[in-house]
């Protein structure tokens, strides 16, 4: 038997449907029937070849939800919850972190481990069904699988997707304190999740800067107190709003989630003296930007932090927070469209042109 997968053959080439062999399930592995897989900005970058070290051809799809068809000697999820055939699960896309190298053991930064592999990004389609844009997903032994916490559905998890986990990590990294004023730069899935979680964590004011209008409306629905447009509000007007909301001091925390280097000048400008600036949106190299070390960092006494990827704990905790506060985190409503495997190229086009905020690949969709 063969299994249909949407394969990205290489940079600049359209995604095509291929038949991949059914995986041989080794002890400790799980076979999922794919219910939904995310199409995120990273997949657009992958199509354009903007990430280094990607072993094309690949089956994209790094955040996915599936139903267990077969589990070979696995009866609990990564947290010890019993799992069995028919259960709906998601899984941590990062796999094969070694726990023995310098990065893992000394720096305690498994996100820099050289052995690290990521479903949908750094596994080749030649290695199997190791991405979500396929009818089945092969979870290798040791992949951290998670039963969805009640009452979450596949749509909740994919609607939040990796933006939810990255936003969670960025907010945590910022050290945001209750009562802080936060500026979020970017209205994509990461920016939206960042704004929602910043508010939930106790920010007194969450101000999101981005576009287009429907995403700003979504940001307000998810908990942003103020939204400012990149096109309709001038950079001076945006600075005036932040200044007036903070008695001229600037934001305690600024989180960049837009991936445009130009945003950094504005971000530093909006940050108060002694504030924290987290750069979380530059997953690919979008170029350089001029920074004034004296004004932006040194004299400002700024704390500037990068956030690379997510750890397993971010996924676990983000899902737990979402399960508790589901009514305040209606990410399922961010899903703009569902695409069968055959329409993966349209899904990528629509995400790239900002036609939809969150697109999902549903192999079972008509």
Which residues contact Zn ion by CB under 5 A?
40, 42, 98, 101, 104, 113, 162
The secondary element (H helix, E strand) that includes residue 336 is strand 335-339
Query: Considering the complex, what minimum distance in angstroms separates the CB of residue 169 from Zn ion?
Result: 12
List, in sequence order, the alpha helices (H) in the chain: 41-47, 102-105, 154-174, 189-200, 213-222, 235-245, 263-270, 312-324, 344-352
Determine if residue 66 is left, alpha or beta; phi over 0 gives left, psi from -120 to 50 gives alpha, anything else beta: beta
Dump the DSSP string for 265-328: HHHHHHEEEEEEEEE-S-SS--------IIIIIITTT-EEEE--S--HHHHHHHHHHHHHTGGG
Provide the b/e sequence for 345-357 (b: ≥16 CB within 10 Å): ebbbebbeeeebb
Nearer to Zn ion, 233 or 352 (CB): 352
Query: Considering the complex, what minimum distance in angstroms separates the CB of residue 49 from Zn ion?
Result: 17
Please, what is the Cα angle at 281 between 209 and 333, to 5 degrees? Answer: 65
Cβ neighbors of 18 (< 8 A, separation 6 or more) are 4, 5, 7, 57, 125
Query: Considering the complex, what minimum distance in angstroms separates the CB of residue 167 from Zn ion?
Result: 11
Query: Considering the complex, what minimum distance in angstroms separates the CB of residue 158 from Zn ion?
Result: 11
Nearer to Zn ion, 163 or 250 (CB): 163
**Rg of the Cα trace of the chain?**
20
Nearer to Zn ion, 100 or 244 (CB): 100
How many Å apart are CA 95 and CA 125, to the nearest integer? 16
Nearer to Zn ion, 98 or 295 (CB): 98
Residue 142's SS3 state is coil
How many Å apart are CA 261 and CA 245, to the nearest integer? 25
Nearer to Zn ion, 40 or 157 (CB): 40
Nearer to Zn ion, 98 or 237 (CB): 98
Nearer to Zn ion, 167 or 275 (CB): 167
Query: Considering the complex, what minimum distance in angstroms separates the CB of residue 162 from Zn ion?
Result: 3
Query: Considering the complex, what minimum distance in angstroms separates the CB of residue 61 from Zn ion?
Result: 9
Nearest residue to the partner Zn ion, using Cβ: 113
How many Å apart are CA 219 and CA 209, to the nearest integer? 10
Longest dimension (CA), the chain: 66
Nearer to Zn ion, 161 or 363 (CB): 161
Query: Considering the complex, what minimum distance in angstroms separates the CB of residue 179 from Zn ion?
Result: 31
Query: Considering the complex, what minimum distance in angstroms separates the CB of residue 347 from Zn ion?
Result: 13
Query: Considering the complex, what minimum distance in angstroms separates the CB of residue 215 from Zn ion?
Result: 17
Cβ neighbors of 165 (< 8 A, separation 6 or more) are 63, 310, 314, 315, 318
- Taking residue 64's Cβ as centre, other Cβ atoms within 10 Å add up to 28
Nearer to Zn ion, 104 or 198 (CB): 104
């Amino acid at each position: 038997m063969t299994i249909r997968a949407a394969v990205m053959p290489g940079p600049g080439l359209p995604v095509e449907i291929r038949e991949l062999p059914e995986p041989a399930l080794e002890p400790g592995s799980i076979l999922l029937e794919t219910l939904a897989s995310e199409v995120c900005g990273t997949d657009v970058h992958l199509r354009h070849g903007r990430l280094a070290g990607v072993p094309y051809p690949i089956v994209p799809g790094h955040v996915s939800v599936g139903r267990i068809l077969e589990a070979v000697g696995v009866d609990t999820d990564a947290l010890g919850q019993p799992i069995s055939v028919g259960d709906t699960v998601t899984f941590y896309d990062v796999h094969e972190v070694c726990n023995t190298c310098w990065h893992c053991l000394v720096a305690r930064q498994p996100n820099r481990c050289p052995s690290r592999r990521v479903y949908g990004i750094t596994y080749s389609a030649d290695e199997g069904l190791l991405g979500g844009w396929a009818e089945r997903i092969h979870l290798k032994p040791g992949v951290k699988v998670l039963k969805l916490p009640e009452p979450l559905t596949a749509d909740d998890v994919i609607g939040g997707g990796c933006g939810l986990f990255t936003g969670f990590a960025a907010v945590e990294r910022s050290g945001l304190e209750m009562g802080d004023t936060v500026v979020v730069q970017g209205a994509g899935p990461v920016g939206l999740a960042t704004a929602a979680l910043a508010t939930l964590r106790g920010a007194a004011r969450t101000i999101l800067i981005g576009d287009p209008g429907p995403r700003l409306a979504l940001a307000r629905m998810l908990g942003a107190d103020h939204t400012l447009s990149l096109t309709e509000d001038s950079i001076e007007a945006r600075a005036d709003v932040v200044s007036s909301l903070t008695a001229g001091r600037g934001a305690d925390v600024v989180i960049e989630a837009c991936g445009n280097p130009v945003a950094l000048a504005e971000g530093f400008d909006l940050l108060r003296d002694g504030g924290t600036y987290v750069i979380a949106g530059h997953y690919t190299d979008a170029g350089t930007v001029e920074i004034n070390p004296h004004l932006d960092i040194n004299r400002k006494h700024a704390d500037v932090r990068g956030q690379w990827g997510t750890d397993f704990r971010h996924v676990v905790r983000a899902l737990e927070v979402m399960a508790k506060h589901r009514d305040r985190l209606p990410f399922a409503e961010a899903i703009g469209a569902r695409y069968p495997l055959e329409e993966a190229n349209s899904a990528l086009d629509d995400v790239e042109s900002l036609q939809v905020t969150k697109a999902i690949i549903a192999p079972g969709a008509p």
